[in-house]
Structure 1
Amino acid sequence: MSPYRARVLANYSNGLPAITLSHYGSGVGVLITFNPVEELIEHNPEIIDIYAHLAILALSERLGKPKIPIGELVLITLKKVFSHPFFLGALVFIILEIIAYLGFLPFGVTVLLAIPFLPFSKLLLKEECSKILEKVQTLRGVTLENLARELRKPPRRLKLPLVLLFLKKKIVILDLSPMDVRDSLVTPRGSESEGVAQWAIKRYPLLMREIIKNPRIRVIELAYRVDMPPYDVLRLLRELSRYGVVELKKAVVDYEVRPLDPLLRWSEV
């Protein structure tokens, strides 16, 4: 007995085909006419070598690998690339870098994303950084909003140059939200006290004038003179004391306020 269009690879002892190989298109089909699991377990543990030989033979008998249309192959490749964790992470990082460059992120996040720009800061935004640094050094302390007005640019477009200057230790960026101001104060590094003192004189001229004219004035009396709630005055003075602008000293039932050198120097200008 001879199978039709098939090649016999092994016969039983009675001459009948045990294993045959046939070609189907560009593929190969192998027919085993006995139970390979039963043969492996009960009769011949070495039959696994026969399976390996059949696999190698079948692969070598193929006419060629299945052909995939170019369009489908491109889609499969792109899907693999886009779903790769490294690509997704790089894509998210690039998007965040663009958003940071455009100034849509808070200063804290922009600082982290600006670190890769630091080695190229002499090439990128060199002119903007120079103008900003010159203006900050001249004014000693300026809010982001006023700085943007001076340079005639939107505040968000100044964030990345400011962060680069901060990373290069040229300036300091102070958050004014603890003093109920939704803005940031930019000062030269090492001149934070002078910068905050200047800002306080412009922001609260009557309050600062009373402190300068009346050293050791009590907070309650000061609040009464400037027509502000005592708690708001005390909270503001506590923040100013952190930057060395004023000194708060606990009294019996109140606090005494004393102006310090940065505030006194600006009052003389």
Structure 2
Amino acid sequence: MKRKSSNKYPFIVLLMIHSALLLYTFRKQEKRKTLLVLLLSHVGLGYIFEILILNLLDAYKYLPKIFKNNYLDNIFGAILSQAIYIPFTAVFISGFHLKWKAKLIFLLYFQVVERLFIRLKLYKTFWWSPLYTTGFLAIFFPLSDKWYELLQKGNRFILNASFYLCTMGTEININYLMAVFGNFRMGRGKVYTWREHFLFTPLYGFVQALITTWFIRRDRLRGKIQAFVIGLVLDWVLYRCGFLKVKNAFIRFMVRGVMVYMASWFRKFIYREIREENEVY
């Protein structure tokens, strides 16, 4: 599944840098539960952005050359960007309440990294520009600060949005792993292309996460049962209509169970433990 390439090392270096930022933040800050929800919410937001810009509009292409399959490789690069590099940085900035001078330094940092990756042919742009990245991050970093503030205040809309985004991001991550290991494919017709798969799968993840959070948010035990059963029914309908292929039905059964468990955990964590943490401090 893997191949030798020097392309992967810059991605690994960035992974180490941003992981260090996140670990330092969690070590120094007291509101670790709130920061964890902030992080997972950012991952979900990042996936929505990447699905629109990368999957649908073909703005750019990542070239880590870790997987032989170009689409898996490209999406893996997107996951590193939207689930690690940018969210870890945003949590660091918001956790330490850094002001605009620090934000400008990070904006310059990402601008330099993106241009360097283009020069080293680790990242290829089509109609996208590094200046667009700077513009979006200039909006995202203050949004992160406000999201963190409202989480601490227990804002109902932000709590609900965080619950959905945490669940949706987890759903998309699990489905990506299932695709890597050959247990999950989506598309049309007899032959499913990877392009089709990565167009359909995010929409599938959005819907499954909506079903799961909707029923679990409304009711505990009955909601878990409803979310599990309806999720399986959706899989069965997609399979019968020819939009879904699975090698092992039991694995999909287990995936739905894991997602119901994770959503239940998110529900307790976000609506109870986050409130308790912010009441203490």
Fold match by TM threshold 0.5: no
TM-score normalised according to structure 2 size: 0.27
Q: Which has the higher strand share?
A: 1
User: Rg bigger for which structure?
Assistant: 1
